[in-house]
Structure 1
């Protein structure tokens, strides 16, 4: 009788242990969700200076005092609440500089959304002034559908949009609302 009771207890313990073993999950993503709000960044960086290279050649340099990393979201992005300075380099190492008060880089689309007092200046002294400008990193293309003013080679042109390659060799003001000549 005693052997039978030990056998029943042993089988019961094994059954309970197996039940616990198969019902418990160790899902790290679920654990991380509990400890962090989905609205919080997964990282905060101060004083960043990121250099992008292409075939060993410097192609861009992004400088910002602060970055929030939201790669924990389904549509991940990096936010620059204090603005950025973005230097773009062509094959001859000529530098176009873009500054803005605020920026977001959307990781899945390679778009940089620059906002607030956006100024772009080329090595040939062409300048663009806008409240918002997008930079498509994969196509190396700048564009906006917001009002923009473009200054180039003796002219200032305003319009309702702007479209250009990163070197401003194919620059076009869209929906021209005004143009006047200036003496340099």
Structure 2
């Protein structure tokens, strides 16, 4: 074989190899990106974290935790607080309320917080709730549980039960299967000028 024929064969082999290389390679950038962004593990972790939540530029809640693990790439993103939380939040009258628990999960899309193990909620008027689990709907300012709880009011009223559904300030309170002692203020005696409607 002459030198010119070897050169043509070498060029043909090179062209075929390059063609096979390009056809053999497909766009795997999506798969590589998915691999780099696994959604079965945490996307971030933080120690000694203090989070401040604002509404219209005002701080409405402060959360402190020794450890936060964020699962931001999961199908239903959430934050886990395996070592517990301390939350201070302000009510509509700018009075502070407190919640602590040994474990918590915050679901980011719904703003629902699942507090577990030694949950204690103390409102600004000294109402105290103790429960093994409490769900807190931050958006609707609502708390509820289907676990045993004890609720003590400042006037020594109490409510113990296995289920309740209530506003954050306990003004609208529904409880089932419970024992309670409640004090009711008597209304002043009606005068002749009072009208009943």
TM-score, normalised to structure 1, is 0.83
Q: Distance in 1 between matches of 2:76 and 2:11?
A: 51
Three-state SS of the structure 2 residue aligned to 1:9 is helix
Aligned to 2:21: 20
Is the contact made by 1:96 and 1:167 (CA closer than 8 Å) also made in structure 2? Answer: no
> How many corresponding residue pairs?
178
Say which of 166, 169, 172 aligns to 2:171.
Answer: 169
| Larger deviation, residues 161-170 vs 119-128 | 161-170
Counterpart residue number, 2:33: 29
Structure showing the higher strand proportion among its residues: 1
Which consecutive unaligned segments of at least 5 residues does structure 2 have? 184-197
How large is the RMSD of aligned CA atoms in angstroms?
2.4
Q: Based on CA coordinates, which of the two structures has the bigger radius of gyration?
A: 2
Superposed CA deviations along residues 31-75 of structure 1, whole A, max 9, x for unmatched, are 426xx793x422221011100101011111111011111223222
1:87 and 1:95 in contact (8 A); partners too:
yes
Measure the CA separation in 2 of the matches of 1:140 and 1:176: 24
Tell me if the contact between 1:157 and 1:173 (Cα under 8 Å) persists in the aligned partners. Answer: no
Equivalent positions of 1:19-98 (< 5 A) are: 19-22=20-23, 23-24=25-26, 25-26=28-29, 27-32=31-36, 38=40, 40-98=41-99
Query: TM-score, normalised on structure 2?
Result: 0.78
Which ranges in structure 1 are unaligned for 5 or more consecutive residues?
none
What is the rounded CA distance, in whole Å, between the counterparts of 1:158 and 1:17 in structure 2? 77
